[in-house]
Structure 1
């Protein structure tokens, strides 16, 4: 109930929920403020420092006085760096008017949907999915259509399931690879199979959320839809940024590349909201995209070690199971073996939310219930934290599971 009786919120607010990942992080901050020892394995953020050369570029930009407004779509030098990155790493050629930088990848995804979705249009979202996709579809007056995936298909959308989900109202297909929360990576062959299904639906656009592109294990390659199927390039929007691969979440810098009319529409929307990304963050992103990445091999080695720590602990935790993540820095844990068990206070565990609540109560470790990602009963665990802290957290999870009757 609102504290202010005369305050009337817009109807669109009833269609939205707070971000579950932000909620658990805020709850853990409150517990920490109460002097409780907590470990947040719910937040998708690397613990590594932003690389030195990137920080130096930001400092140099400040000293040069680059602290004013930029063009809405981003500075020319940044868009050139994005263009070159997409050409050199992904084999994709875009002109500068087909590229926009913004204050994070998230608002660019929303702008793409706001620019194209009409009331009743359907946005097909494979699940498990990043928590924000359905709510952003609703905010754009669209209808999220959840496309269930499962562990048997390695959490990837199949051509058969996509074909069954497509209707005359379909407007977007969202593809996130490497995936949050499962770490699944779509191969070039799998993307081609999905493209064949999409071919008879010329009005369906493809949103390629490639934000975890560089975080992959076991030598697995990366592919994105417009690279694999050039015939669909005019229907694809590539979303990426520097937050995950360069540990720059707080810098708020993302970018998008796609058809010029859509990018222009997104620029118009951005001009009426955030205007432009931080000029300092833009300068830092140029350094991130253009300069050597000698830090990345070390980071991936550390993340791979943490991945193994998590998987080994889950094997010791009664009631938990997990497949091997291929990319990103998440484990998507099956907790169905804990449903129906009893806490020491005799409360019965009924949902993955109950499991997450018990683990937080018993061990001070914060996880996100799978319901937030469209699939239950699962838990998402982010292992992008200090390795020793992760070991302590995983032992706490194992101990918490052993306490259930």
Structure 2
């Protein structure tokens, strides 16, 4: 039985394997295939000239968009992930992305970017709009939300972005993506599009075991988002940042499908990362795998389950002194419900805990041990860095 340790923090890895819930479509954060040209044919009927109207945007609209861009161009920066720190060679960036300066205070400036942009870095460097490079410190990163916060010297910062709200976004609304596609050579590139969809669900495989670990809700846009745009700003026509660009679909048959983390989702996470360095979430203290991945023979011989038990998660490890340990849960126990919510896999378990419970809540767990249905209660703890590989 393959042991799958589940990441306990809350999106999206640098080149994470993604699945779209509406179909199996490869996602790509920073690697992109070049789409082949395709011809689209449609039957068109002739229309009278009186039915044809001009659809040119007004000068006022263009001016508004230009002003929105000007409010943010210097607040969107490059972020270099430096991993080669050998004494015998020059340090080089192993990857570059984008970031948004959202705050300047007490001589320091704060940058929000994607977790996958800074993952594994030995050093971090912020590249300003004018090309100046400033060393940055990682205050905290969160893999599930794909967000990270950096701190840097604020003496060279002249502009700070205005973080807006994503709650009032509507499909068809104009949005603008600002970032550094393909690195600093095209720094500050601007692309314009619309909101193509809201509340899109994207499944993420964070530990590359072929199983989805988390589902995140994102904004869909057709504004071009290319490698290097990750962590950049998605702004509205008023110049407010409404999303953090995160990923796109990279498939030859697909064009113009990019995704951004909604700002209303990002704001509380940014605050926790800045203040605490991590995101506080409820914690049980187990590693587990979906029952559906266990061979039928082991379900009967080892777990002693009847044919009526088809869904749940099998505990592979219980952390000592955790809530699960205190509730006397053991290896090979099969959890089928938390409170009255059915659990089919670890993603179900995390989504229910993170969305419907809080640290300190008392929950009831329904489980099977040696084929016998049992129940126990436990009080949810608070996850810390040492517990990041368990739930």
Give TM-score scaled by structure 2 length.
0.27
The higher radius of gyration belongs to 2
Give TM-score scaled by structure 1 length.
0.27
Higher helix share: 1
Higher strand share: 2
